[in-house]
A and B are shown apart, each in its own frame.
Chain A
Amino acid sequence: MKMTLERKAELERLCLQFRKDVIEVLHAIQTGHPGGSLSVCEILTALYFEKANISPENQNDPARDKVVLSKGHAAPMLYRVLAERGFFPKEDMRTLRQPGSYLQGHPCSIYTPGVEVTSGPLGCAYAAALGLAIADKLDGNDAYVYAILGDGEINEGVVWEVLMNAAKQKADRLITILDWNGVQLDGAAEAIMPMGDIEAKFQAFGCNTILVEDGHDVALLCEAIDAARGCKGRPSVILAKTVKGKGVSFMEGQSAWHGHPIDDESYAKAIRDLEARADG
């Protein structure tokens, strides 16, 4: 079903708020990862507000859908989205990365309501996502597992081990979304580790691939998720082309903002940028 323009505009307003709030928190605490948080914003929003059957009400139901943020450094955006979804008060975002907080630097399944799988060491949580999908299958749960990978993350060998296993298990309920922002910590992905034809690589590992040219368009993301659900007998991978630092002009495409503290001047400019985009 196609998303209405009203709903799309509503989700876009939410995304703008998420971006502003994440930038505000990261500025306040002077630590954390802005770049990858901004690029994954619409992917998380499409899942938690449209497609994934997850809420605080069903979080103990084994048959719920599960979202696994394997690129765990984008935790600030995940936390902001979970807060909006009602898993915890959004005011607690201020405790992010501080001693005593249930909002750790990287997501942890035992501390944070709504976090399905601990992530941080890249690739690890992806394997757990497949394990969850296999458990669902064994129990006959009518559920999907959505795993979000970074494109730097796919340098990890374990990602491809997981894909071999997913294809062998015919894990068609495991839907992978690649946050394909083209930039990793040390620089442009192409320079740090050229991955060649990424889509062909996923296909060669037995996956159904779906390309989303604009991974910041929630409607397109939702259509891709619908298409992935329709694919039987093999895992689907949605290749969502995104922009690292999306929405903040001077952060866009810049590896320097992968995990750089936000100074006062940059903070003010970032908020101005985001507001200008909203008006435009």
Chain B
Amino acid sequence: MDKAIRDVYGESLIKYGGENKRVVVLDADVSSSTKSCLFAAEYPERFINCGISESAMVGMAAGLALGNKIPFVNTFAVFISTIGAIAARTFLSYSGLNVKLMGAYAGLSAGYDGSTHHSLEDIAVMRAMPNMTVMVASDAAITDWMVKTAIATDAPMYIRLSREAAPACHDANARFELGKGCIVREGRDVTILACGAMVSEALKAAGALSAKGVETRVVDMFCVKPLDKALILDCARETGALVTAEEHSIIGGLGSAVAEELVRSGARAPLEMVGIQDCHAESGAYKQLLQKYCVDASAIVAAAEKALKRK
């Protein structure tokens, strides 16, 4: 059984945050959901439960960063990217403060809670802000690396997490680098540039496509900003067709970022985008929602076939 991303996150926070006394963890009364409660139990003196006051929480984190702390701010991605946005813009983006915004329950992973709790625009919001590093966790190994890297890197960051379990899509000895995509499967016919839970779905899709004689490259574009532009252009040149896959609106997310780079560079490769098609989702089991809103392996297969036809 694969571990839920949130559980991995909670444990990594203890592992790396415990040894670094500058780490301070904040939550807005959802610590048992975000799993920041694990850190709270070990290091209560460096945990602040702000109650349900997200605006104050992000601003307080800014003050802690000014006081040379490394604050990790936890709540649902939908709240951090809306209620937290003014403080994120003022203090992280504009003032460059070393705050880590951890977006829990991102994408459709708040499932049954419905659209009010889904987060499908957070990447767009955070990516539009200057100086912001934006990353999306795809499995346990990379979640652990992200926590470690966030502590070691003096920069404002938004890191998108999931409530759900994600099958491992990286080798145990995989090495990651900020600003670089990570190729998780080689192929020469088409490239799927995916992030978050869509990386493992893309691997499934690649298997299905292989059975049909199509060899698919899969890239974990875990760092949406700064974007690995060189890798996108390599993939366009070497495979001739691209698909983006994300558990996020097709407006403003990874798909948009890739499209911007393709057009800017003049690279010629068809691009299909798998993502939420500019609509709100509804309550339901997570897997059901992925299927209904066409963000799963079969949607990726269909998009890849479409892209191949446009080659």
Contacts and interface: CB of A to CB of B under 8 A. Distances in A.
Interface of A: 62, 108-110, 116-118, 120-121, 123-136, 138-139, 157-158, 161-162, 164-165, 168-169
A62 to B, nearest CB: 7
A59 to B, nearest CB: 12
A128 B53 contact: no
Contacts of A164: 51, 53, 56
Interface stretch (B86-94, B114-122, B179-187, B283-291): B86-94
Contacts of A117: 62-63, 66
Interface residues of B, number: 30
Given A125-B59, A165-B51, 10 more contacts: A108-B95, A109-B95, A116-B66, A124-B91, A125-B90, A127-B55, A131-B62, A131-B64, A164-B53, A169-B48
B306 interface: no
B55 A131 contact: no
A116 to B, nearest CB: 7
A129 B65 CA distance: 11
A166 B116 CA distance: 29
Among A124, A126, A162, find the residue whose CB has the most chain B CB atoms closer than 10 A.
A124
A138 B24 contact: yes
B46 interface: yes
Contacts of B86: 121, 124
Given A121-B86, A164-B51, A136 B56 contact: no
B90 A120 contact: yes
Nearest to A174: B63
18 contacts: A108-B94, A116-B66, A124-B87, A127-B57, A131-B61, A131-B64, A131-B66, A132-B66, A132-B67, A134-B48, A139-B67, A157-B55, A158-B55, A161-B50, A161-B55, A164-B53, A165-B51, A165-B60
B53 to A, nearest CB: 4
Contacts of A62: 67-68
Contacts of A132: 63-64, 66-67
Nearest to B53: A161
A165 B56 contact: yes
A136 B61 CA distance: 13
Contacts of A135: 24, 63-64, 66-69
A108 B94 CA distance: 8
B59 A162 contact: yes
A161 B56 contact: yes
A203 B67 CA distance: 28
Nearest to B96: A110
Contacts of B68: 62, 135, 139
Nearest to A133: B63
Contacts of A168: 51
A86 to B, nearest CB: 21
Contacts of A136: 67
A13 to B, nearest CB: 33
A269 to B, nearest CB: 37
B194 interface: no
Contacts of A128: 59-60, 62-63, 66, 91
Contacts of B64: 131-132, 134-135
Nearest 8 CB-CB pairings of A with B: A131-B63, A135-B67, A127-B59, A161-B53, A161-B56, A128-B63, A131-B60, A132-B63
Contacts of A109: 66, 95
A118 B95 contact: yes
Among B46, B55, B56, B66, find the residue whose CB has the most chain A CB atoms closer than 10 A.
B56
Nearest to A120: B90
Nearest to B55: A158
Contacts of A108: 94-95
A129 B90 contact: no
Given A134-B63, A165-B50, A123 B95 contact: no
A130 B60 contact: yes
B58 interface: yes
Among A124, A126, A127, A169, find the residue whose CB has the most chain B CB atoms closer than 10 A.
A127
Contact of B91 (A118, A133, A158): A118
Contacts of B94: 108, 110, 118
A138 B71 CA distance: 13
B67 A130 contact: no
Nearest to A158: B55
Nearest to A163: B56
B51 A131 contact: no
Contacts of A124: 55, 59, 86-87, 90-91
B11 to A, nearest CB: 23
A58 to B, nearest CB: 15
Contact of B63 (A120, A121, A130, A157): A130
A19 B56 CA distance: 33
Nearest to B24: A138
A242 B304 CA distance: 67
Contacts of B53: 158, 161-162, 164-165
Contacts of A157: 55
A138 B46 CA distance: 8
A127 B62 contact: yes
B59 A126 contact: yes
